[in-house]
């Protein structure tokens, strides 16, 4: 059975029921204080055969990844808990320690930023698999962000675009930095405009952020004729903003997004995207975690999965100039 947003909400409710979170109307969820050395007196533990998935946010991007994890976990008979770190390394660190204290068998940490390389000595043996975190040590599964940024930008350059904008989340995020590096490499190889003004940073991966980021680029004295957005919500926001200004996609502005979603194919025109193997990486991450829980020591500690450029209509004709 697949994982959907209701499963995420159920996991949130479970964390609250077990005394790890408290939800207050109008305030949000608050992490409750507890010792990292073990559960507080009288507190419930999660029990055996339970794994936790710590994700950066409640984003549709993670649904196929979570399904891949769940499919393997179901075969193992494991309970999967999902915790949202809300793009906060500090909260990710805190929640990791609380999950360990409650007795989970292992953790899959997905895109959660700079968690500590070494946990406290009494917790350091817990199996942890990192996903989409290129700055992490230990067992890691990665998307080829640099390759994605390169292939998307190169495709736009092959269509004859010389001023190619980049809509991106903060460049100091490790995964985003890799996408930016691929963008820069393609720009330099094509001899295209390398102006820093063509890189529009926004604080989050949302449609509204995509609108704001593109508006900034379109207000330049010489705006770009094409844009690569480092997330599908940003690309959808860019298409919306372009339309609101009377621009036609792709005739007036070509758009390519990063990662595929159902909306990317349904929007008019359908979005060209660089697709990442989200389901496969979730499937592999859970298999790797299962091996670690069972006491196995895989020799390969770091694996990178390649992306694929899916051509649709938002970048124009597919015959390069």
Does the global pTM surpass 0.85? no
CB 257 within 8 A of CB 235: yes
Sign of CA dihedral 156, 276, 63, 201: negative
Which domains can be identified in the chain, with CATH numbers? 5-143+278-306 (3.40.50.2300), 145-275 (3.40.50.2300)
Q: Which range is least confidently modeled, 51-55, 228-232, 261-265, 267-271? A: 261-265
Q: How far is CA 154 from CA 7, 16, 188, 257, in A?
A: 38, 47, 10, 13
| 266 Cβ contact partners less than 8 Å away, ≥ 6 residues apart | none
Kindly write down the DSSP assignment for every residue of 181-221, as one continuous string: HHHHHHHHHHT----GGGEEE-SSSSHHHHHHHHHHHHTSS
User: How far is residue 321's CA from residue 315's CA, in Å, rounded to a whole number?
Assistant: 13
Coil, helix or strand for 98? helix
Residue 320 pLDDT class (50, 70, 90 cuts): very low
Beta-ladder partners of 309: 274
User: How far is residue 144's CA from residue 253's CA, in Å, rounded to a whole number?
Assistant: 26
User: Which tens digit of pLDDT belongs to each residue from 201-210?
Assistant: 999 999 999 9
User: Which tens digit of pLDDT belongs to each residue from 101-130?
Assistant: 888 999 999 988 655 554 554 456 789 999
């Amino acid at each position: 059975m697949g994982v959907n947003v209701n499963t995420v909400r159920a996991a949130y409710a479970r964390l609250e029921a077990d005394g790890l979170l408290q939800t207050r109307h109008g305030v949000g969820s608050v992490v409750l204080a507890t010792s990292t050395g073990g559960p507080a007196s009288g507190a419930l533990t999660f029990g055996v055969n339970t794994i936790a998935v710590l994700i950066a946010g409640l984003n549709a991007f993670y649904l196929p990844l979570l399904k891949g994890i769940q499919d393997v976990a179901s075969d193992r008979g494991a309970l999967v808990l999902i915790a949202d770190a809300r793009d906060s390394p500090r909260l990710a660190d805190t929640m990791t320690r609380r999950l360990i204290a409650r007795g989970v068998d292992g953790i899959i940490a997905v895109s959660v930023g700079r968690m500590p390389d070494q946990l406290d000595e009494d917790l350091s043996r817990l199996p942890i698999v990192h996903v989409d975190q290129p700055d992490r040590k230990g067992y890691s599964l990665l998307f080829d962000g640099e390759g994605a940024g390169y292939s998307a930008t190169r495709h736009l350059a092959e269509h004859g675009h010389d001023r190619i904008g980049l809509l991106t989340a903060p460049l100091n995020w490790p995964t985003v930095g890799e996408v930016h590096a691929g963008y820069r490499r393609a720009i330099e190889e094509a001899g295209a405009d390398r102006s820093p003004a063509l890189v529009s940073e926004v604080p989050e991966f949302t449609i509204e952020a995509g609108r704001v980021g593109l508006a900034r680029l379109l207000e330049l004295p010489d705006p770009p004729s094409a844009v690569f957005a480092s997330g599908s919500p940003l690309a959808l926001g860019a298409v919306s903003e372009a339309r609101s200004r009377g621009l036609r996609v792709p005739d007036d502005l070509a758009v390519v997004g990063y990662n595929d979603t159902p909306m990317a194919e349904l929007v008019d025109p359908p979005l060209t995207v660089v697709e990442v193997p989200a389901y496969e990486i979730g499937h592999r991450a859970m298999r790797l975690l299962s091996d670690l829980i069972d006491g196995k020591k895989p020799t390969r500690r770091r694996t990178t999965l390649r992306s694929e450029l899916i051509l649709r209509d938002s970048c124009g004709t597919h015959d390069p100039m």
